[in-house]
Amino acid sequence: MGKVRRTLKRVRLHREGTDILLVTLAFLVSFNVLVWWMSTPVGIAVTVISAILYLLLVNFYRSPKRHFTGRRENVVVSSVDGKVVALEETYESEYLKCRCIQLSVFMSPIDVHANWFPVDGEVIYVKHHDGRFMSAWLPKSSTENERSTVVIRTDDGQLVLMRQVAGAMARRIVTYAEPDTAANIEDHMGFIKLGSRVDLYLPLGTEIFAKIGDRTVGGMTIVGRLNPSTDPQLLKNE
């Protein structure tokens, strides 16, 4: 029993889920009471289904506490739990306006949906964009879907752009990052509700450790390491 209690204590829920979990619980309890009053056999089936759905919702809003213990200098960690679905050289047109490495991780509805900062440094740019809700698997979702862009300047002046992208199911992006505040890879940068993806745009000189199909853990999996000698043209707002 002691072991079970210790395990339960490690299950934390994200603050973004507090209201919806309470409202959903109240609705399900009321609905189940009504169904049980009308028919016991039907009530049993509805209660089982309700319990499964609610546990899935609780699972979606879980918020594990994570501590990065490796070498932090120039490290790039995955911002989210999920699967690497894109890794390519591309042109970033919103802020960096240069060619860089795009690394995208897709989150399914059963993944943790908290978002961590990918690098240590200072937040210098935050902007939310309204848009469509196409499948987050599609490449054009990065520029056409609802999204939020955050740019972080590392201690040695390199710029890393992180973009939260809504998907077909995700209808709300929450961004905690604010300009002129510190970014820490152990801190939450935001939250995306339901399936979605996060894109990282890294300098071309970055050493990449991830590959397509890899599973990542937000705030823990090292996906790359910045090169301190990156072309100065990629350093802005110095």
**Could you list the active site residues?**
196
> Which positions ≥6 away from 125 have C-beta within 8 Å?
95, 149, 150, 151, 179
Residue 222 and residue 166: Cα distance in Å, rounded? 24
Instruction: Please give the DSSP secondary-structure letter assigned to residue 159.
Output: E
Tokens 């209690």 correspond to: 5
Q: 22 is written with which tokens?
A: 């309470």
Give me the helix-helix angle, 40-60 and 18-38, nearest 10°: 170
The burial of 195, by beta-carbon neighbours within 10 Å (0-12 exposed, 13-18 middle, 19 or more buried), is given as buried
Sequential DSSP letters for 32-83: HHHHHHH-HHHHHHHHHHHHHHHHHHHHHTB-------S--TTEEE-SSSEE
CA-wise closest residue to 210 among 59, 87, 74, 55 = 87
